Each structure stands twice: as structure tokens, then as C-alpha cells.
């Protein structure tokens, strides 16, 4: 089909598609870096290394350190149950796992706000026991776990279905117990799928804004993660601060993209 009109329409589609991507994706990405370093390295660096900036970074990393392992263990276990153990309730579990994908982060934040608030079902009881969930770190962790819950399950289920059970059968025939089979046979076979889910979970936790902003109260130096820090700095007309933190998050996002591509290739190989 090397006709002139074929070539023309090919160039037309190419220009259309790439032009759209340039305007919508590439230009904003370039803009973050341009705006950040417009006045040199000092202003953004100063913002990130300020006490509040560093605290926000630490808190973001803490969210990752708690939410990611929790959702990874849950995700792998849940995927094993869904794929390998037939049960009437599996389709319900499957449906509930998809909920965080479809629900607005603000709705998630509000739900937690109402449950753990002073008039909520759990708030007063926990408060009496000296446990504060709302406007403190535990509430932010719960919000992070909620929004990032589906990724590991969703990435692990198809891989588990694909690998089948032959190797595991062989292992158990040779006398391996379930625990040994899981570590030596199953986990190595699904590792790239799980890793891919972990990367997505991490990216989501690092970037979460809506849900966390509602349950955290956004107190600088106390309950402020990096995305909340970005908004606070913007509201305070400290654009250097906002961009400094943004560039950090953008670099993490680009690293995520890189990791996704490497892992996808390993998974397909």
C-alpha cells in the first residue's frame, strides 16, 4: 500500500497523534523543569531542604514504607485466594478490590473523615483509648492504603493464571511443603508481575493528594506530605517552593515510568 494517499494519511495521523501528545504531555513536563530552574538551582533546593520540605519528604516516604508492604502482602495473598481457591464470594471480593480505582479520592477522604471523626462510628471510641486517626499520621496511612489497594492484586492475578500449577505440583510431588513451594517456585515465577504492582502502588502513594488532604488537615511540618506541600507553597505564593517539590515528584514519576517499562519487558520475556 505505498500509495501517495496512504503516505499522506500516515503523516496526517502521525502529526495529529504526536502533536496532541506534545501539547498535553511533553510541554507540561518540560515546563516543570523550566519553571523550577528558571532562577537557578538555589531557590528550589532551598525549598526542599527547608524544615517543612524535608519533613514532607520524610512523611511521604513513611507512607510508602507502611502502605506498600501492607498492600503487597495483602495483594499476593488475595491473588492466590482468587486464582487458586474457588469460592462463591470471590466475585464479590474481586468487585470490592476494584472500588478504589473508580471512587473519587475526595469521596474516599470524606468517608474516612466521617468514620474516624468526632461524631463517627469509630472516632469517639478510639479517641477515648488515646488513638487519634484523623488529622494525624494513622489517618493518612489508612487513606494511602485505601487508594493504592488494587494494584498488586490486579497485576498478580493474570500472572498467576498464566503460570498454571504444573511446576508447583512437581515441587510438592518432590516433597516440598506449601511454604517452600511458594518461596521457591511460585514467587519467582510471579515476581515481575508483583514488582510491577509494587511500582504502581508506590507511585500512587507518593502522588496521592485528594484523600490524604482531607484526612490530614495539612499542618506544615506535621501532617504534610510532598503533594500537600506543593499546594501549600502555591497557596502561599511561594512558587519556588511549589516547583522545587514538584520537580522532585516529577523525577520520581519518571523513575516510575522507567521501572514500569523495564518490568513490563521482563514480564513479557
Partner 1 sequence: MEAHSATASATRAGIRLPWVGAGLGRGTVVLYLSLIVLLPLAALVSQSFEGGLSTFWTQVTSPQAVRSLELTVVASLIVVAINAVFGTVIAWILVRDDFPGKAAVNAVIDLPFALPTIVASLTLLALYGHESPVGIDIGLTRTAVVVALLFVTLPFVVRAVQPLLIEMDREMEEAAASLGASGFTVFRRIIFPNLLPGLAAGVALAFARALGEFGSVLIFAGGLPDTQVSSVFIRTQIESGNDTGAAAVSVVLLVASLLLLAVIGLIQRWGNRHERSAAAGLTVMPMSGEDFTEKGGEDGDR
Binding residues for partner 1 restricted to 9-38, rule: CB under 8 A: 9-10, 13-14, 16-18, 20-21, 24-29, 31-32, 35
Q: Which residues contact 25 (CB under 8 A, 6 or more apart)?
A: none
Stretch that binds partner 1, among 41-49, 124-132, 172-180, 216-224 (CB under 8 A): 172-180
Decide if residue 114 touches partner 1 (CB under 8 A): yes
Tell me the residue length of the chain: 269
Site mask for partner 1 (CB under 8 A), range 73-92, x = bound = -x--xx-xxxxxxxxxxxx-
Name residues contacting partner 1, limited to 247-266 (CB under 8 A): 249-250, 253-254, 256-258, 260-261, 264
Stretch that binds partner 1, among 42-50, 51-59, 124-132, 202-210 (CB under 8 A): 202-210
Name residues contacting partner 1, limited to 206-235 (CB under 8 A): 206-210, 214, 226-227, 230-231, 234
CA 152/CA 100 separation, integer angstroms: 13
User: What is the grid cell recorded at 238?
Assistant: 511561594
CA 229/CA 44 separation, integer angstroms: 13
Q: ∠ at Cα 246 (240, 248), nearest 5°?
A: 110
Name residues contacting partner 1, limited to 40-69 (CB under 8 A): none
Name residues contacting partner 1, limited to 120-149 (CB under 8 A): 120-122, 142, 145-146, 149
CA 205/CA 212 separation, integer angstroms: 10
SS3 string of 195-228? Answer: HHHHHHHHHHHHHCCHHHHHHHCCCCCCCCCHHH
Count the site residues for partner 1 by CB under 8 A: 112
Amino acid at each position: 500500500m505505498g500509495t501517495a494517499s496512504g503516505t499522506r494519511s500516515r503523516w496526517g495521523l502521525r502529526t495529529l497523534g504526536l502533536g496532541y501528545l506534545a501539547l498535553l504531555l511533553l510541554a507540561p513536563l518540560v515546563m516543570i523543569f523550566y519553571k523550577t530552574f528558571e532562577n537557578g538551582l538555589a531557590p528550589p533546593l532551598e525549598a526542599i531542604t527547608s524544615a517543612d520540605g524535608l519533613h514532607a519528604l520524610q512523611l511521604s516516604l513513611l507512607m510508602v514504607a507502611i502502605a506498600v508492604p501492607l498492600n503487597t502482602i495483602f495483594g499476593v495473598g488475595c491473588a492466590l485466594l482468587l486464582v487458586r481457591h474457588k469460592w462463591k464470594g470471590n466475585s464479590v471480593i474481586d468487585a470490592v478490590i476494584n472500588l478504589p480505582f473508580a471512587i473519587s479520592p475526595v469521596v474516599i477522604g470524606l468517608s474516612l473523615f466521617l468514620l474516624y471523626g468526632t461524631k463517627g462510628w469509630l472516632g469517639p471510641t478510639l479517641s477515648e483509648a488515646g488513638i487519634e486517626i484523623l488529622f494525624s499520621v494513622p489517618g493518612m496511612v489508612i487513606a494511602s492504603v485505601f487508594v493504592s489497594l488494587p494494584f498488586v492484586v490486579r497485576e498478580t492475578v493474570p500472572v498467576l493464571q498464566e503460570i498454571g500449577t504444573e511446576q508447583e505440583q512437581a515441587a510438592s510431588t518432590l516433597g516440598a511443603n506449601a511454604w517452600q513451594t511458594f518461596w521457591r517456585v511460585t514467587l519467582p515465577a510471579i515476581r515481575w508481575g508483583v514488582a510491577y504492582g509494587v511500582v504502581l502502588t508506590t507511585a500512587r502513594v507518593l502522588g496521592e493528594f485528594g484523600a490524604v488532604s482531607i484526612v490530614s488537615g495539612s499542618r506544615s511540618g506535621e501532617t504534610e506530605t510532598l503533594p500537600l506541600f506543593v499546594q501549600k507553597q502555591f497557596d502561599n505564593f511561594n512558587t519556588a517552593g511549589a516547583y522545587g517539590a514538584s520537580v522532585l515528584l516529577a523525577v520520581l514519576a519518571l523513575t516510575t515510568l522507567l521501572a514500569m517499562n523495564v518490568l513490563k519487558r521482563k514480564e513479557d520475556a
